């Protein structure tokens, strides 16, 4: 891949988990960003232990040769919370802009069960036509706001939400303006559908609308355990359903090849929420970095 166009980042969720703060509670911000740099990454997303002051955060990251490339933002448009969501987005966007990020990854959390104890495959939420309309209207507005800052908005399709499956991704992409992008998350789409073909289908269908990529692998036996035992999303995290590229069932070579052929330009982020007391974050960061170096030549 073209190293002038593609940059590698890693998410702090392997060190300290935002959804399950007990996972990695012992790990400090300084340890997290130092080990990211040590493993050979040049960017990261934002975790719950990161300093909120951009001046402080920039100093800590620049000492380690890191920069912020994105940070999760939850939207609640389908719930009718347009004004509240936009107000929160403004602050979030301004922070990311100050940090030099170009992309804002958003997840529509109306009705989401990802943080609950409800079985992730049995109780998945869905939207009616009116909710889809509200979501599209909201994301179009966010995209307009971001464009004024020279930034782009993309949807993070996610397990336990109403925009999880290929059909739901297709509907979202059809309803919003072309300026709204898709954050391709390899792990979440495989988790949802259980095969690699869907990853490639979505990648090829929306290649020119993907400004950000999450590289996440799946342990199929853990995924099946979640299904068979009717487990919730967070149980899957604790069990180790997610892992880094090269450690699960996804073949990333065709993914990298397709992105390279299309001239993808942007960040690719290793993101694998695991229990750091079981899966040492530094060890897995090195494992992911070596695998990507071997497969994608970056």
Q: How confident is the model at residue 273 (pLDDT cuts 50, 70, 90)?
A: confident
Give 19's pLDDT tier (boundaries 50, 70, 90): confident
In whole angstroms, what is the distance from residue 181 CA to residue 173 CA? Answer: 8
Assess whether pLDDT exceeds 80 at residue 156.
yes
**202 pLDDT exceeds 90?**
yes
What span, in angstroms and rounded, lies between the C-alpha atoms of 41 and 156? Answer: 22
Range of the domain at 163: 6-296
pLDDT for residue 271: 94
CATH number, domain with residue 231 = 3.20.20.150
d(CA 93, CA 106): 11
**Model pLDDT, residue 274:** 87
| Share of residues in the chain with pLDDT > 70 (%) | 100
**Mean pLDDT confidence for 165-179:** 98
**Is the per-residue pLDDT at 62 higher than 80?**
yes
Q: What is the pLDDT of residue 164?
A: 98
User: Among residues 152, 161, 205, 158, which one has the least CA distance to residue 180?
Assistant: 152
Compute the mean pLDDT over every residue in the chain, rounded to the nearest whole number: 96
Q: List residues bridging with 104 in a β-sheet.
A: 153
Reported as type and span, the H/E element at residue 181 is: strand 181-185
Is residue 131 in a domain? yes
Q: Is 162 within the bounds of a domain?
A: yes
Take residue 146 and report the two structure tokens written for it. Answer: 């971001």
Answer yes or no: is 236 within a domain: yes
> Is the confidence at residue 281, as pLDDT, over 80?
yes
- What was the pLDDT predicted at 277? 87
Question: DSSP E strands: which ranges in the chain?
Answer: 6-10, 43-44, 67-68, 73-75, 103-108, 152-156, 181-185, 212-215, 217-218, 242-243, 266-270
The pLDDT tens digits for 127-139 are 999 999 999 999 9
Model confidence at 124, pLDDT cuts 50, 70, 90, reads: very high
Asked if residue 1 is part of any domain, the answer here is no
Mean pLDDT throughout 192-217?
A: 98
Asked whether residue 69 is domain-assigned, the answer is: yes
Between 253-261 and 281-296, two packed helices, what is the crossing angle to 10 degrees? 60
> Is 186 within a domain?
yes
Q: How many domains does the chain have?
A: 1
- For the stretch 83-108, pLDDT in tens is 999 999 999 999 999 999 999 999 99
What pLDDT does 269 receive?
A: 98
pTM: 0.96
Q: Residues 212-256: pLDDT tens digits?
A: 999 999 999 999 999 999 999 999 999 999 999 999 999 999 999
Element (H, E) at 156: strand 152-156
Is 26 inside a domain boundary?
A: yes
């Amino acid at each position: 891949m073209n190293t002038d166009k593609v940059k590698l980042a890693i998410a702090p969720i392997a060190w300290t988990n935002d959804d399950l703060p007990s996972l990695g509670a012992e790990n400090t911000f300084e340890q997290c960003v130092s080990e990211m740099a040590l493993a050979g990454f040049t960017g990261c997303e934002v975790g719950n232990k990161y300093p909120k002051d951009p001046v402080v955060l920039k100093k800590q990251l620049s000492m380690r040769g890191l920069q912020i490339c994105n940070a999760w933002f939850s939207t609640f448009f389908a719930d009718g919370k347009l004004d509240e969501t936009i107000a929160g987005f403004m602050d979030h966007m301004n922070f990311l802009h100050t940090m030099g990020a170009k992309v804002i990854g958003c997840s529509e959390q109306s009705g989401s069960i990802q943080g609950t104890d409800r079985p992730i495959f049995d109780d998945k939420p869905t939207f009616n036509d009116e909710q889809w309309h509200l979501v599209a209207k909201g994301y179009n507005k966010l995209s307009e706001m971001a464009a004024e800052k020279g930034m782009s908005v993309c949807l993070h399709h996610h397990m336990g939400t109403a925009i999880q499956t290929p059909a739901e991704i297709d509907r979202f992409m059809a309803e919003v303006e072309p300026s709204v992008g898709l954050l391709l998350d390899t792990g979440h789409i495989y988790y949802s559908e259980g095969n690699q073909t869907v990853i490639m289908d979505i990648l090829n269908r929306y290649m020119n609308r993907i400004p950000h990529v999450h590289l996440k692998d799946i342990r199929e036996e853990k995924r099946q355990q979640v299904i068979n035992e009717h487990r919730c999303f967070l149980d899957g995290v604790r069990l180790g359903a997610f892992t880094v590229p090269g450690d699960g069932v996804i073949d990333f070579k065709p993914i990298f090849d397709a992105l390279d052929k299309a001239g993808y330009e942007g960040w690719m982020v290793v993101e694998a929420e695991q229990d750091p007391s079981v899966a040492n974050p530094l060890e897995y960061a090195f494992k992911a970095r070596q695998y990507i170096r071997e497969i994608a030549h970056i």
